[in-house]
Every structure is written in structure tokens, then in C-alpha cells.
Amino acid sequence: MTEEKIPPILSCSLTAYATERLRMATWILVAFPRSPMVTAYSAWGIQDLAKGRFELGLGTQVKGHMERRYSVPYSPPVPRMKDYVLALRAIFDCWQNGTRLDYHGTHYTHTLMNPLFTPWRLAYPMPPIYTSCMNTGMARLAGEICDGVFFGDPVTNKWVRERLVPSFQDGARKSGRDPKTLDISNGSFVGVGSTPEEVKKAKEAIRARISFYGSTPTYRPVFEYHGWGDITPRLHAMSREGKWSEMPALITDEMVNNFAVIGRYEELPHLIKERFGSYAKRVHLGYPDWTLGDTDARMKKLVDEVHSIE
């Protein structure tokens, strides 16, 4: 569950209450506008409500959104995220094991915890922590200190395989961990439909999303990696002029096919295995306007077939 119009903490809380087997995660929770303590209380409560089925996925934001939407000072995200995750670990350890809270970091300091504000000990594992990333520095950090990684938007198959997966593995080895013991989620958009028309509609929705991300200078390295660097300043200029509906026309089918896996329900398991099978342990199917024609039976069959991928 990602952070767009509704906080994923709310969505996960409702899911935890309404289900008994479904696992849930904040696909990303934007970390830096919230202190680690605020995030820790939320994650702890959901993990208890979900009976151990919750995963805390954290993400950063680009400078413009941090400063102008969230009104939070911007700083280099990788060292700040490392500080954030380590602070969360210290808080969780205090609550679960009674360890004295005495965390001192560059950005965060947590030294006060008394019985009135200490949550109950969980009967389940402490919430696992993931980070979302689209650059090598954050991928390396995820491998070093997190339980796994969500390769975030926007990334291509080539970028993930050649840049992010090796960086994640390097980070894991740096901390003495086997990368195979950590979770990796797919890196690419996934679109599906039950008819050719629905597949086309999903494809166009993804094309629009790629144009949105391409308008942000932060994401230019991914485009440049494929030789598409000239597109991003054009998209950025159009976004500043409010030409959102015209921007998708700059995104070619070649770009869409590199950023996304799109097909009919009966095709998708094979496409997912081909694209993600060598590295991913889980697959995020995307947004409602990318997942068309879904029925309970159709989705169950798809999920079962994806689970059977070796």
C-alpha cells in the first residue's frame, strides 16, 4: 500500500482488522515527515492487530515534495534513511526486550521512554523493515541493514538487474549476510487485463505514470541509462506548464516495455517469471487502473500460478 492520497498506515490498519491471513505492507510510507518514534508506534500497533502479518516499508521523497509539500528540510536521503532505520531498531528493541533506549544518530536522538508510553510486548516478531529504492546507494543500504527491498518507481528491467540487484547484494555481504536470505520485490510496473482492450488501457495508464516520473529530474539517471536522457527535461518543462495530458505522447512503446510487464491474465505468470524470476521473491501487481477485468476467481488463479513459480 503506497502513500498517495490515503496514508498507508490507515489502509494497513483496516486490512489487519478485516482479514485473517493476508499479509500487508506499506509499499512505501514516506519516512522523513514522520519521526522514527511516530512511525514505530504505528507499526507496532498494526503488527499486533495483524497478528504478525505486517511489514514496514519505508521510502524517501524528492526534494521538491519534501520542502514544498511536506514542509520538511531536505538532506541526502541515504545517510538519513540509515539513521532512521537504526533508530527504529533501537525503539523496537526497547519495547520488545526492555533494552534501555539510548539512540544517538546524526539526524535522530531517542533517549526517553518510560512505562506510561511503552507499548506491550508483542506476541509476534517485531515488524520487519524494508526500504524502497531506485538508486544504487539506497539498494546497498537496504541490503546492509534491512530485511529486504522494494525496488521502487520508476525502474526498468535493465536498471534493476545491472545496477540495483548487485548493489543490494553488495550491501548484504558487507554486513555479513547471505543476500538469498533477504526479500526482494519486483522492479517494474505490472499491468494486466482480461481482453486486448483492457490490456491496452492498462498500458496507457502505465505510459502516463512513466511520463509523470520522467518529469522529475531525480529520476533522469534511469532514462539516461537507456539513452533516453533528452526526454526528461522536455517532460519537466511540460509539467511546469501543466501539460500533464500531453506528456504521455513522449513515452514510446519501447520505454513502456522496459518499465513494465503487461499482458492478459493467462500470459502474466510466464511474463513475471521471465522478468523477475531470477531475483524477486514477491511481485507487486500495481494499481487498480493497471489491473483490469479482475474477478475473485481470476485473481486467485493468477496468484496461485505466481506462487508456483520456482
Strand 54-59 vs strand 129-133: parallel, antiparallel, or unpaired? parallel
Proportion of the chain above pLDDT 90, given as a percent: 83
| String of DSSP letters for 3-48 | SSSS-HHHHHHHHHHH-SS--EE-S-EE-TTS-HHHHHHHHHHHHH
Structure confidence by residue, pLDDT tens digits, 75-131: 999 999 999 999 999 999 999 999 999 999 999 999 999 999 999 999 999 999 999
Neighbours of 50 (CB within 10 A): 22
Q: What's the whole-number mean pLDDT along residues 248-272?
A: 95
Q: What's the whole-number mean pLDDT along residues 212-227?
A: 93
User: Is residue 238's pLDDT more than 80?
Assistant: yes
What's the pLDDT score for residue 114?
A: 96
What's the pLDDT score for residue 106?
A: 96
What's the pLDDT score for residue 154?
A: 86
| Residue 150 dihedral angles phi and psi, to the nearest 5° | -105, 110
What's the pLDDT score for residue 187?
A: 78
What's the pLDDT score for residue 283?
A: 86
pLDDT tier at 209, thresholds 50, 70, 90:
very high
Q: What's the whole-number mean pLDDT along residues 241-263?
A: 96
What's the pLDDT score for residue 95?
A: 98
pLDDT tier at 307, thresholds 50, 70, 90:
confident
pLDDT tier at 27, thresholds 50, 70, 90:
confident
Structure confidence by residue, pLDDT tens digits, 176-203: 999 989 999 887 899 999 999 999 999 9
| Of 259, 270, 269, residue with least CA distance to 134 | 259
Burial 69-100 (b: 16+ CB within 10 A, else e): eeeeebeebbebbbbbbebbbbbbebbeeeee
pTM exceeds 0.85:
yes
Proportion of the chain above pLDDT 70, given as a percent: 100
Distance of alpha carbon 36 from alpha carbon 162, whole angstroms: 32
User: Is residue 286's pLDDT more than 80?
Assistant: no
Structure confidence by residue, pLDDT tens digits, 164-174: 999 999 999 99
